[in-house]
Amino acid sequence: MNQMADEPSAEDRLIARYFAPLATHPGAFGLIDDAAAIAPPPGCDLVLKTDGVIAGVHFFADDPPETVGRKALRMNLSDLAAKGAKPLGFIMSVALPANNDGKIDEVWLKAFVAGLGEDAKLFDCPLLGGDTDRTPGPISVSISAFGAVPHGAMVRRATAKAGDCIVVTGTIGDAALGVRLRYDTSLAQKWRLSEAMKAHLKARYVLPQPRNIIADAVLKHASAAMDISDGLVGDLAKLCRASGVAAEIDAGRIPLSEAARAAVAADPAAFEYALTGGDDYEILLTIAPDKLAAFGADAKKAGVAVTEIGRIAAGQGARFLRDGKPLAFTRPSYSHF
């Protein structure tokens, strides 16, 4: 039987069933229009960010589907947090493989949407629209997130000043070490990891923990900031180049989790993996010394650990020192190309 012209297509039904319930903002129009319409709060600028994930590149094909959409959204939320921005919503393009009958795996899709919906609610960042496609290749999810900051106040990476303290949130390197474990399970024994340590490292890769809860503190105190997605070493170098400054880091002060410390103690090469491997989704900030204590107090109140690891100086380049000696890195930053 032919489909009647006034009947919704299979794609329309898929959108209505799975994605429309996530479109809670009135400007999304229930996803029945071609576009959304939103306005930032009065006196605010829009902050725009886009990032995405591809199976086999940013996540493993056997990762739980409920974590895939959450990871894609959280990667974007992490950037908004580093800009001091409050999330407003996101649009998403998702490409799904189909079987020989042209059908997608709706069991996978249902779990994907459930996880994404949980985070959309948790971070108050509703779906505003997007696109769905069939692909002969791997699953891919691309998200563009929108946030708001007071006019002219977005925290940039180009505004660090000589004398600023360099601070990071959370711990560094867990996700990069987790990826290594996924590719080579024998490393768990080499690194002398307990089951809990292995689980911690793998979980940090599968599901980042964006620091949006301290976005207001970043906005209030930071002179410059960016999220750490391509590794601390490479991202600090980017911040220094953008700001036209130098940096000196005491590598011994870089915060590591218990699992990462165990790996580094057993295998010194793991330290380079941790600093250059990427997927931390922590925030790298520069803060004037007279604002450091207030920022630390605000972060503590929010339950986010922060650590001062170095200083910004005049000049160019970022140096990492250990026991007073400079460290050299084979591959300073994760790069797709």
User: pLDDT digits over 252-275, tens only?
Assistant: 999 999 999 999 999 999 999 999
Q: Answer whether residue 56 shows pLDDT above 60.
A: yes
Give the integer Cα–Cα distance in Å for 176 and 282. Answer: 13
Q: Answer whether residue 177 shows pLDDT above 70.
A: yes
The reported pLDDT for the residue numbered 100 is 76
The reported pLDDT for the residue numbered 5 is 55
The reported pLDDT for the residue numbered 209 is 96
User: pLDDT digits over 84-108, tens only?
Assistant: 999 999 999 999 998 877 788 999 9
- In order, the DSSP letters of 73-113 are HHHHHHHHHHTTPEEEEEEEEEEE---TTS---HHHHHHHH
The reported pLDDT for the residue numbered 59 is 94
The reported pLDDT for the residue numbered 331 is 81
In this prediction, residues 154-180 reach a mean pLDDT of 98
Give the integer Cα–Cα distance in Å for 127 and 130. Answer: 8
Query: What is the DSSP code (8-state) at residue 16?
Result: I
Q: 12 or 249: whose pLDDT is higher?
A: 249
Reported residue count of the chain is 337
- In order, the DSSP letters of 145-206 are EEEEEETT-PPPSS---TT-EEEEES-SSHHHHHHHHHH-TTHHHHTT--HHHHHHHHHHHH
Confidence of residue 3 (pLDDT cuts 50, 70, 90): low
Q: Answer whether residue 4 shows pLDDT above 70.
A: no
Q: Answer whether residue 33 shows pLDDT above 50.
A: yes
In this prediction, residues 188-213 reach a mean pLDDT of 97
User: pLDDT digits over 103-143, tens only?
Assistant: 889 999 999 999 999 999 999 999 999 999 999 999 999 99
User: pLDDT digits over 280-307, tens only?
Assistant: 999 999 999 999 999 999 999 999 999 9
Q: Percent of the chain, pLDDT > 90?
A: 91
Give the integer Cα–Cα distance in Å for 190 and 202. Answer: 16
Q: What is the mean pLDDT of the chain?
A: 95
Residue 208 vs residues 40, 89, 171, 190: alpha-carbon distances, Å: 27, 19, 12, 25
Contact at 8 Å (CB) between 198 and 174? no
Give the integer Cα–Cα distance in Å for 270 and 267. Answer: 6
